[in-house]
Amino acid sequence: MSHSPTPYGLALHTTTPELGLAISNFTSDSRSQVWHLERELSSKMHYHLIEFIQPQTWADLGFIAVAKGPGGFTGTRIGVVTARTLGQQLHIPVFAVSTLAAFAWENLGKNTRNASINIAVEMRAQRGQIFAAIYQTTLDGYGLQAIIPDTVMTTEIWQAKLANWHQEYQLIQAENQLAASVNSILQLAYLDWQSGKRPDWSEALPFYGQHPVG
């Protein structure tokens, strides 16, 4: 059995005007930071990324995790492209994690992770629609499974689904400070890493949900 140290994981969250970065070796060294970059996200992200990973180097990374959306079109694309490029160049796996799943996991961390309670997540989308999903903690408590995967729908359809939902659920709204859930992006990716998953960089695809033009 190998006793080599656990490699570092690096997570990026760019689906909002904020940049969230997190890095950890999942034993003794973890840190994260959020920057409010607004329209400067594309021009300043790489600078912050290079500064942030120090004193670690690219060679210390065992995998990359990235928020794949839903979220803003441009920011989501920037993050996923960056993660794919790093994964390709470093020859390491890239985990694309749902923005809604990460927010659900972030909120679950503040409460007891009860597999019997469903987590309904909603986030405002364009043109009067919403992004929505329903998640459940896996039976072992070490991850999430989607009962209703991330979908774009009207508020009326979503409310009807919840009204007829057959299990106890907690409803949370993903609105503010989403980039702070970059730690959950990293944690969910690490749980998949521990289970033996090693997705190729080419499998990391964004989820936009809506076309940027109506």
Decide if 8-98+177-203 and 100-173 have a common fold.
Answer: yes
What is the band of 91 on the pLDDT scale with cuts at 50, 70, 90? very high
Integer angstrom CA distances of residue 50 from 44, 45, 114: 10, 9, 38
pLDDT surpassing 90 at residue 209:
no
* Predicted local confidence at residue 108, as pLDDT: 76
What is the band of 151 on the pLDDT scale with cuts at 50, 70, 90? very high
Task: Quick: pLDDT tens for 55-83.
Answer: 999 999 999 999 999 998 999 999 999 99
Task: Quick: pLDDT tens for 164-174.
Answer: 998 889 999 98
35: tokens are 């920057």
Positive or negative: CA dihedral 125, 78, 21, 115: positive
Share of the chain above pLDDT 70, in %: 91
> In this structure, are residues 182 and 16 in contact, taking their beta carbons and an 8 Å threshold?
no
Q: Among candidates 155, 89, 161, which has minimal Cα distance to 125?
A: 155
Q: Among 29-33, 110-114, 165-169, where is mean pLDDT lowest? A: 110-114
* Predicted local confidence at residue 90, as pLDDT: 97
Domain 100-173 classification at class level: alpha beta
What is the band of 142 on the pLDDT scale with cuts at 50, 70, 90? confident
Q: Among 62-66, 104-108, 186-190, where is mean pLDDT lowest? A: 104-108
* Predicted local confidence at residue 127, as pLDDT: 84
CA 78 to the chain's CA centroid: 14
Any idea how long the chain is?
214
Q: What share of the chain is helix, strand, coil (3-state, %, to 5)?
A: 35, 30, 35
Tell me, letter by letter, the H, E, C secondary structure of 127-158: CCEEEEEEEEECCCCCCEEEEEEEEEEEHHHH
* Predicted local confidence at residue 214, as pLDDT: 45
How far is residue 198's CA from residue 192's CA, in Å, rounded to a whole number?
8
β-pairing verdict for 129-137 and 118-124: antiparallel
Integer angstrom CA distances of residue 147 from 1, 16, 83, 117: 36, 25, 27, 12
- CATH match of 8-98+177-203 with 3.30.420.40: yes
How far is residue 38's CA from residue 45's CA, in Å, rounded to a whole number?
11
How far is residue 24's CA from residue 14's CA, in Å, rounded to a whole number?
18
> In this structure, are residues 94 and 83 in contact, taking their beta carbons and an 8 Å threshold?
yes
pLDDT surpassing 90 at residue 117:
no
- Sequence ranges of the domains in the chain: 8-98+177-203, 100-173
pLDDT surpassing 50 at residue 2:
no
